[in-house]
């Protein structure tokens, strides 16, 4: 098991981007308060008045400046992905990729490319909860030696729609309903499912959205995907297709739906806090960048279209090659300046990377600059420190709101002779970007390729690849979400769609909704047809996937051998056995976990030997949903108090319900016996049973710690949910 590396965020070497940001930073320590014009302020407590009780004078420039600036503090939030958190880091390459791409940062083994990453939810507003059932944004800005490359992806590898022209419809449907602005940060409402039920192309994405991927345990435990097929271009001008993946070294893990809903109340900033605290404590999140490369000649080799963003390339067909590692090692200094003002754009690419004709990607290429114009207030958003390239910018673009750069000289046009012809164009051999010369010979049409018409085979592949608990969670998620839909016809239409994915799934959800699966499911009418189109020409095609399952699609097969940064609750009261705390704590902390001592009241408890044991949280401020596992140390009086303490028993009940690892010193078994799962305690506490059921009790503290660590690393014991009715 990996040992935790303690490297504090502030001790990290300064990367080129952090260095570049330095001159823009302000630190007030030991300084006088000034106005924005630099005038020292003498009284920041009282406005200027005509007499002590008199009216305030218009002349008070200090008051006016302060209030005016305050009045203009807010900018529009992002239309989607409004809620997010960012961090700085670096990307390092494992091996040069010159065979495929000439991009400098993917070839130079000495390069350490600075990155800024922003994770987000999609639907909720800036202040909404982190634990909404939603897609998560995973946007990475690489500050390369050749300019900025943005990889603006999600934690799901496919998308709802195939053509960007449907994006405003999708977003209008998923955002709160326009009459009453309900619900916030959720997709469990009529407009969303109305749209989805009429858009069979969303079937695959809906399976991901209803899966546990939509409720991650942490931003640090999510995969990331570039979604579209992009192009790599090498020095010789040869192209290959590429899909980008981020693989988290901590594995891919999620919480339970009931838990997600609880966390939303207990700590709506759960993911934001988790990312911040992990980086502050030196448990730096890491991802490997993976690529799936398809030679250009193989473009038509698959039973799906590489240009269709509702399709993955299963890893069994094209393996993911891990080419480098990203480490996030520094929190921003200022949320607004860095995270909020970060402007990502899928169209920011560097030589060696290019687009494909994926119609979703093509539309995105317009949207991202356009949205920054309104959100950040004008065309100079690239000059905001977080968005600035680390290489100099020289061109003939001028002026506009909030221009920072002071361009010297008379000429701002090309060609020019007055400015010596500068700035000059770069040849491709000098690093100039030259678009890939794709051959185009086509009619100008508004159309969708027939190769985009299979909507169900990969949705089915996803379902078939899930473990039983994951399948149950999908059924429950559909039942919950559609259960919130008021319009029965919409629910019924969704059952029709589900029946084309998997009959068992459809009948389970139909049962929960009190509906019937149509005997012969009506072929869903694809409503995204042009006015003059013939409906029959737009029916989805039924294709069987060439694969029965794809292991990479199930979180069951993820990394489960480490507990770095996992949060463990110790439940204690006066009279606790300090030895029983310390032995377990030392073992967990040495594996990188974080331990919180939780007691009936704050400050400290007194151990059975009269020692003071500091307390981190009380039962009032803590909740089991904020922890990965629970331990109850020994000590007769402590155990007697906890057994009679409803909050302690509830803490354990909830942890059990959410399938978490639980351990108790043998002396503390009576606390477990006070819980609702007392009659479900394992018959024995052998290693095998503990690792199967996730509840460990022993008097041998070394053995207990060793097995508890293994159990925590397994993340959850979903089998406990059988027969899928666990009371709180």
Active-site positions read 81, 154
CB under 6 A: which stretch of 4-12, 322-330, 367-375, 667-675 binds ligand HDD? 367-375
CB under 6 A: which stretch of 4-12, 359-367, 437-445, 467-475 binds ligand HDD? 359-367
| Among residues 199, 207, 239, 360, the one that binds ligand HDD under rule CB under 6 A | 360
User: In angstroms, rounded to a whole number, what is the distance separating the alpha carbons of residues 616 and 613?
Assistant: 10
Q: Where are the alpha helices (DSSP H) in 246-299?
A: 257-266, 270-280
Nearer to ligand HDD, 139 or 475 (CB): 139
Nearer to ligand HDD, 244 or 456 (CB): 244
User: In angstroms, rounded to a whole number, what is the distance separating the alpha carbons of residues 32 and 39?
Assistant: 9
Closest to 710 measured CA to CA, from 627, 629, 598: 629
Q: Which residues within the stretch 211-250 sit at the binding site for ligand HDD (CB under 6 A)?
A: 227-228
We find the least distance from the C-beta atom of residue 219 to ligand HDD, in angstroms, to be 12
Task: Build a one-symbol-per-residue string for 635-674: x at contacts with ligand HDD by CB under 6 A, - elsewhere.
Answer: ----------------------------------------
**528 binds ligand HDD, rule: CB under 6 A:** no
- Cα separations (Å) of 108 from 77, 247, 475, 517? 37, 22, 47, 57
Both tokens assigned to 682: 């394992």
Q: Give yes or no for a contact between 347 and 305, defined as CB atoms under 8 angstroms apart.
A: no
**363 binds ligand HDD, rule: CB under 6 A:** yes
We find the least distance from the C-beta atom of residue 119 to ligand HDD, in angstroms, to be 8
| Among residues 4, 129, 154, 499, the one that binds ligand HDD under rule CB under 6 A | 154
| Among residues 148, 196, 309, 326, the one that binds ligand HDD under rule CB under 6 A | 309
Task: Build a one-symbol-per-residue string for 444-473: x at contacts with ligand HDD by CB under 6 A, - elsewhere.
Answer: ------------------------------
Interior CA angle at 370 toward 365 and 372, to 5°? 115
DSSP category for residue 229: -
Both tokens assigned to 391: 């290489």
CA 85 from chain centre, in angstroms, equals 9
We find the least distance from the C-beta atom of residue 457 to ligand HDD, in angstroms, to be 20
CB under 6 A: which stretch of 30-38, 73-81, 241-249, 270-278 binds ligand HDD? 73-81
Both tokens assigned to 598: 């939780």
**152 binds ligand HDD, rule: CB under 6 A:** yes
We find the least distance from the C-beta atom of residue 81 to ligand HDD, in angstroms, to be 3
User: In angstroms, rounded to a whole number, what is the distance separating the alpha carbons of residues 215 and 132?
Assistant: 7
| Number of residues forming the site for ligand HDD (CB under 6 A) | 26
**118 binds ligand HDD, rule: CB under 6 A:** yes
Closest to 343 measured CA to CA, from 112, 138, 139: 139
Nearer to ligand HDD, 365 or 529 (CB): 365
Q: Where are the alpha helices (DSSP H) in 47-166?
A: 61-71
Interior CA angle at 490 toward 487 and 496, to 5°? 145
Strands 84-93 and 112-121: antiparallel
CB under 6 A: which stretch of 1-9, 98-106, 148-156, 543-551 binds ligand HDD? 148-156
Which residue's CB atom is positioned nearest to ligand HDD?
A: 137
Closest to 138 measured CA to CA, from 155, 125, 124, 122: 155
**324 binds ligand HDD, rule: CB under 6 A:** no
CB under 6 A: which stretch of 43-51, 65-73, 159-167, 185-193 binds ligand HDD? 159-167
Strands 136-144 and 147-154: antiparallel
Strand partners, 239: 233
Residues near ligand HDD (CB under 6 A)? 78-81, 84, 118, 120, 137, 139, 152-154, 159, 164, 167, 227-228, 309, 342, 344, 360, 363-364, 367-368, 371
């Amino acid at each position: 098991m990996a040992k935790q590396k303690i490297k504090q965020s502030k001790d990290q070497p300064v990367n080129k981007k952090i260095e570049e940001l330095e001159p823009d930073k302000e630190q007030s320590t030991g300084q006088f308060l000034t106005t924005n014009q630099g005038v020292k302020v003498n009284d920041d407590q009282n406005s200027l008045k005509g007499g002590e009780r008199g009216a305030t004078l218009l002349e008070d420039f200090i008051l006016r400046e302060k209030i005016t600036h305050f009045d203009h503090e807010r900018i529009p939030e992002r239309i989607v992905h409004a809620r997010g958190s960012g961090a700085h880091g670096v990307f390092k390459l494992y091996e040069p990729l010159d065979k495929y791409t000439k991009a400098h940062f993917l070839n130079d083994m000495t390069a350490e490319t600075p990155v800024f990453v922003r994770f987000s939810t999609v639907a909720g507003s800036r202040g909404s909860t982190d634990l909404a059932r939603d897609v998560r944004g995973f946007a990475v800005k690489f500050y390369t030696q050749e300019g900025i490359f943005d990889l603006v992806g999600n934690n799901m590898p496919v998308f709802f729609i195939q053509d960007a022209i449907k994006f405003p419809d999708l977003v209008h449907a998923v955002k709160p309903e326009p009459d009453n602005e309900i619900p916030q940060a959720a997709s469990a409402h009529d407009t969303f499912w109305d749209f989805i039920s009429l858009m069979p192309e969303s079937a695959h994405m809906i399976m991901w959205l209803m899966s546990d991927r939509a409720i991650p345990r942490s931003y640090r435990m999510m995969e990331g995907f570039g979604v579209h097929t992009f192009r790599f271009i090498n020095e010789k001008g040869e192209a290959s297709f590429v899909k980008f993946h981020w693989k988290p070294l901590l594995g891919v893990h999620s919480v339970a739906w009931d838990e997600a809903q609880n966390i939303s109340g207990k700590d709506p900033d759960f993911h934001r806090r988790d990312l911040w605290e992990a980086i502050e404590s030196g448990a730096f999140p890491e991802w490997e960048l993976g690529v799936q490369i398809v030679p250009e000649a193989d473009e038509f080799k698959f039973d799906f279209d590489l240009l269709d963003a509702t399709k993955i390339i299963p890893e069994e067909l094209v393996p993911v090659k891990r080419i480098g590692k990203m480490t996030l090692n520094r929190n921003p200094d200022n949320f607004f300046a860095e995270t909020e003002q970060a402007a990502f754009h899928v169209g920011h690419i560097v030589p060696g990377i290019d687009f494909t004709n994926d119609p979703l990607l093509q539309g995105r290429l317009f949207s991202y600059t356009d949205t920054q114009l309104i959100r950040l207030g004008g065309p100079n958003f690239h000059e905001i420190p977080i968005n600035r390239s680390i290489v100099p910018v020289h061109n003939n673009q001028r002026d506009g709101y909030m221009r920072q750069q002071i361009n010297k000289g008379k000429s701002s046009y090309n060609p020019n002779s007055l400015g010596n012809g500068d700035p000059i164009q770069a040849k491709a051999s000098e690093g100039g970007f030259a678009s890939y010369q794709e051959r185009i010979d086509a009619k100008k049409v508004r159309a969708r390729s027939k190769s985009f018409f299979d909507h169900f085979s990969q949705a089915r592949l996803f379902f078939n690849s899930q473990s039983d608990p994951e399948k149950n969670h999908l059924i429950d998620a559909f039942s919950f979400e559609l259960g919130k839909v008021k319009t029965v016809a919409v629910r019924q239409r969704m059952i029709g769609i589900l029946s084309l994915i998997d009959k068992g799934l459809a009948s389970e959800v139909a049962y929960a909704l009190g509906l019937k699966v149509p005997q012969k499911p009506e072929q869903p009418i694809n409503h995204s047809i042009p006015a003059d189109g013939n409906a029959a020409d737009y029916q989805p095609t039924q294709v069987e996937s060439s694969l029965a399952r794809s292991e990479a699609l199930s979180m069951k097969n993820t990394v489960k051998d480490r507990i770095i940064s996992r949060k463990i609750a110790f439940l204690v009261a006066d009279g606790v056995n300090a030895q029983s705390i310390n032995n377990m704590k030392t073992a967990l902390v040495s594996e990188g976990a974080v331990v919180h001592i939780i007691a009936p009241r704050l400050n400290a408890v007194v151990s059975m030997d009269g020692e003071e044991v500091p307390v981190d949280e009380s039962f009032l401020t803590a909740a089991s949903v904020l922890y990965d596992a629970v331990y109850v140390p020994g000590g007769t009086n402590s155990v007697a108090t906890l057994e009679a303490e409803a909050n302690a028993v509830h803490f354990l009940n909830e942890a059990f319900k959410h399938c978490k690892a639980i351990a108790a010193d043998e002396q503390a078994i009576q606390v477990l016996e006070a819980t609702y799962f007392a009659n479900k305690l394992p018959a024995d506490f052998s290693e095998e049973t503990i690792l199967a059921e996730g509840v460990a009790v022993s008097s041998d503290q070394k053995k207990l710690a060793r097995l508890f660590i293994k159990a925590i690393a397994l993340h959850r014991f979903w089998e406990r949910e059988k027969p899928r009715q666990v009371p709180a």
